[in-house]
Structure 1
Amino acid sequence: MSTSVQPQMNREYMIGFLQALLQVPSPSGFCMEIMKLIRKETIKLGYELEMTPKGNAVITIPSASEPTGKVIALTAHVDTLGAMVRSVKPNGMLRFTPIGGYAMHTVEGEYCLIHTRDGKAYEGTVLSTKPSVHVHSDVREWKRDEENMEIRIDEPVMTKEDTEKLGISPGDFISWDPRTRILSNGWIKSRHLDDKASVAALFGLLEWFKREGKSPVNTIKIILSTYEEVGHGSSYIPPDITELIAVDMGAIGDDLTTTERDVSICAKDSSGPYDYEMTSKLIQLAKREDIAHAVDIYPYYGSDASAALRGGSNIRAALIGPGVHASHGMERTHADAIVNTAALLIAYIMENEKEEVL
């Protein structure tokens, strides 16, 4: 008779760590500070962390016995959407270029930080170049394209020279205010739940192994990538990995069945179908352990597993993650989805353990 691991998950730990993750700016390519947080928490839990030259983190949960030859990897990404200064305009405002794939209207009116190369940070606001209905008659029809958007800096700048004196220049990173709200009824709304909610689930898994004093029969490697939003996060993975589960947010809407309280199991995305046996096992385990879940297809979606496969990795791959509404916009999920994601991952790892013993 199987025993569900779900009631043993530390919900408070995962949500607390998620809140910490969301407060650290980390647009793709600007993940130095968040990796310091990741390293500190990994050491606190008693695990080893290695950094790849690219800036990805690899955390190893060693096997309990002699190596079986099977290495299971779980990957999520700490990088988020953001922007970069494209140019300083004559009026002192900034033209920016997006980092990641989002619709421009989703950042209009957003507060942001401009991170200079000498370590300073300035506040700003994203606006269209026609921001006021009292001034511009066509403001409602004005197309929200990159060339029609700018950032107003909260400093006394009126000219390009004023802005340059602050040390702001092309190539500086821009991060969006996450606007995180964690409600007592379990709802979590914030930017960047894609994919920090999944990172929190993976640390919930690490905390469970530590607290329960358990070790898997198969070596587990957790890969935290820093370039997923631009397409090549886990394009390289350690060559000893045989199975890879990408842990990334589940999309909601249209004919999709995932909700904000489910763990989403993706059968197919823009890169094609995921491994049949792995996906089937994840579905079976979710049913057996009574974990709220849904199976969906995401035609406009790619994952770190997609990147690894396209990078030439000879692996089996699957994709799961917490359901997130309004992805790449003002996102929302529920604590249940994060707990369910961690619980399904542990069920999968422990089921593999049973198979190895048999």
Structure 2
Amino acid sequence: MNYNEDKIKYYLLNILSIASPSGYTQNIMDYIKDELNLLNVPYIVTNKGAVVATLKGKDSNYQRTLSAHVDTLGAMVKKINSSGSLAIDPIGGYMMNSIEGENVTIETIDGKTFTGTVQSTKPSVHISGNDARELKRTPENMEVILDEKISSINEVEELGISVGDFICFNARTLFTKKGFIKSRHLDDKASVAILLYATKYIVDNNIELPYTVNIFISNYEEVGHGASAAIPKETKEFVSVDMGCPGLDQNSSEYSVCICAKDSSGPYDLELRKKLTQICKDENIDYKIDVYPHYGSDASAALRAGWDIKTALIGAGIFASHGYERTHMDSILCTLNLIIKYCKKE
């Protein structure tokens, strides 16, 4: 594999640095469009803000579409508490204990930015003792403490913060010397970086594609309807590039490309899965096949919406998904290699 790891990390760090919880993705979509413009790759923007880039192939009647999503987990201001803290309402599905103590940024509707920290309503054992330890970590028992000298609802409102403002969790991205990447939102920004680099690689190397390939960057996957509309109509094969889930009783790995046979939405297309696994075998790409009991993807959304397409789900193995996540460059490179080889294969 002759891939530029530094460029992949460059894309990934940039993407992880731009806050984009579901519903607040314009800034990161602007970044994606800027990078596609640099590559002179044509794209369209759908009505709800997804970006669909197109790499022309010899056959445009039989098209392949690969998707990844830029939207992440986050929260929204539910109300302003009497003390001046912010009650939160989650965006996406995650364990509340995974965000306790996390630094956040509040993005107001008129463009102001404020910082704060997520805490439980009983954050100190010196004050609450065992009550602090035993308090259930539910949205009702969590709040954002603003980094402002305030102590009332009126003071918060005077800052310009209101119900409906977005709360973005800091990514805390770290690249280790041993090749690990630790960050929030590797689901699914690792895949977005992979697809962006794959696009650059195909363009820079003038690779002739047998079929037109579309790169669908969706922005509402975490809330269930990312790729439910606007898929290019000639799409016959749809590959959701999301994440593998290594962990307890799972076959997935942080060092391989993970191929999902079935998730909570049902089995993925067997013929397409066979094609992808055969590429891995032929090209000596380390891969793992797995089943995920609590998982859905852009492909799931497309099928529910009635699209007549063959679907597959692949991705880098992301440990501790929907928490503070981790993967390894081996997994990213295996996923990238499978994508490049799949796009080139007739």
**Do Structure 1 and Structure 2 share a fold, with TM-score over 0.5?**
yes
SS in 2 for 1:196: helix
What amino acid does structure 1 have at the position aligned with 2:182? K
State the 1:346 CA deviation: 1.3
Aligned to 2:5: 11
Q: Indicate whether 1:123 and 2:115 are aligned.
A: yes
Aligned to 2:28: 34
Aligned to 1:3: none
Aligned to 2:252: 258
Aligned to 1:312: 306
Contact kept, 8 Å, 2:264 with 2:293, in 1: the verdict is yes
What amino acid does structure 2 have at the position aligned with 1:123? T
Counterpart CA distance in 2 for 1:111 and 1:195 is 20
Q: Indicate whether 1:90 and 2:85 are aligned.
A: no
Q: Indicate whether 1:104 and 2:75 are aligned.
A: no
2:197 pairs, out of 204, 208, 217, with: 204
Counterpart CA distance in 2 for 1:68 and 1:119 is 42
Aligned to 1:79: 71
Counterpart CA distance in 2 for 1:71 and 1:219 is 5
Percent identity of paired positions between Structure 1 and Structure 2: 48
What amino acid does structure 1 have at the position aligned with 2:197? G
What amino acid does structure 1 have at the position aligned with 2:342? Y
Q: Indicate whether 1:168 and 2:161 are aligned.
A: yes
CA offsets, 1:193-217, max 9 Å, x none? 0000001111121121122111312
The root-mean-square deviation of aligned C-alpha atoms, in Å, is 0.9
What amino acid does structure 2 have at the position aligned with 1:322? A
State the 1:238 CA deviation: 2.5
Q: Summarize the Cα distance change of 1:185–1:140 in structure 2 as closer, same or farther, 3 Å threshold.
A: same
> Could you list the runs of 4 or more consecutive aligned residues of structure 1 that deviate by over 4 angstroms after TM superposition?
none
Counterpart CA distance in 2 for 1:218 and 1:93 is 54
Unaligned ranges ≥5, structure 1 = 1-6, 353-358
Counterpart CA distance in 2 for 1:45 and 1:261 is 29
Aligned to 2:51: 57
State the 1:68 CA deviation: 4.5
Counterpart CA distance in 2 for 1:298 and 1:164 is 44
1:24 pairs, out of 11, 18, 24, with: 18
State the 1:8 CA deviation: 2.1
2:341 pairs, out of 341, 347, 350, with: 347
Counterpart CA distance in 2 for 1:29 and 1:223 is 17
What amino acid does structure 1 have at the position aligned with 2:149? P
Counterpart CA distance in 2 for 1:244 and 1:8 is 26
What amino acid does structure 1 have at the position aligned with 2:99? V
Counterpart CA distance in 2 for 1:341 and 1:169 is 42
Aligned to 1:332: 326
Counterpart CA distance in 2 for 1:159 and 1:247 is 45
SS in 1 for 2:247: coil
Report how many aligned residue pairs link the two structures.
Answer: 344
Counterpart CA distance in 2 for 1:156 and 1:255 is 48
Counterpart CA distance in 1 for 2:193 and 2:179 is 15
State the 1:62 CA deviation: 1.0
Counterpart CA distance in 2 for 1:180 and 1:78 is 16
The structure where strand makes up a greater share of residues is 2
CA offsets, 1:7-59, max 9 Å, x none? 12222211110000000000001001001110111111120121000110001
CA offsets, 1:65-124, max 9 Å, x none? 3x3410100000000000000000011000010000001000000000000011011000
SS in 1 for 2:148: coil
Aligned positions of 1:94-243 closer than 5 A:
94-137=86-129, 138-236=131-229, 237-243=231-237
Q: Summarize the Cα distance change of 1:125–1:68 in structure 2 as closer, same or farther, 3 Å threshold.
A: closer
Counterpart CA distance in 1 for 2:166 and 2:293 is 30
1:245 pairs, out of 239, 249, 254, with: 239
